[in-house]
Amino acid sequence: DTAVSQTPKYLVTQMGNDKSIKCEQNLGHDTMYWYKQDSKKFLKIMFSYNNKELIINETVPNRFSPKSPDKAHLNLHINSLELGDSAVYFCASSQELSRVTYSNQPQHFGDGTRLSIL
């Protein structure tokens, strides 16, 4: 009954390779995210999709390409991996916020994918 699940949990690969991380949520949320957390624990948003549409695209190298086949899935493909890509990548999901009521919709995070580039 995992809410947000991402695979693989660990990914060790060589520089220059291409890899993918998959994420699935069973919470019925319509918004999904990818975050990168570096070795200093700085957590930064990379992408966000709402109902399969890209709504947030931060300054991320073109080597990173998200894909959302449906609103329950958001995958991340990384081409030509570099040493600096070593980090923990978190997938998250939430309902869309209402700007009218200032209410909150918490983001639910997956357990993370620990990517190590050799």
Between 2 and 80, CB nearer to other proteins: 2
Rounded CA gap, 19 and 2, in Å? 24
Specify the stretch interacting with other proteins by CB under 8 A; choose among 19-27, 62-70, 71-79, 92-100.
92-100
Specify the stretch interacting with other proteins by CB under 8 A; choose among 12-20, 60-68, 77-85, 88-96.
88-96
Instruction: Look at the chain and count its residues.
Output: 118
Name the residue type at position 69. Answer: P
Query: 110 near 32, Cβ under 8 Å?
Result: no
Our finding on whether 48 is near other proteins (CB under 8 A) is yes
Size of the site for other proteins (CB under 8 A): 29
Residue entry with tokens 């549409």: 53
Rounded CA gap, 75 and 25, in Å? 11
Specify the stretch interacting with other proteins by CB under 8 A; choose among 12-20, 35-43, 70-78, 79-87.
35-43
Among 20, 44, 79, 116, indicate the residue that binds other proteins (CB under 8 A): 44
Give the CA distances from residue 97 to residues 30, 92, 94, 107, in Å, rounded to whole numbers and listed in that order: 10, 14, 8, 10
Our finding on whether 68 is near other proteins (CB under 8 A) is no
The footprint of other proteins (CB under 8 A) covers 31, 33, 40-45, 48, 50, 55-56, 90, 94, 96-97, 99, 101-112
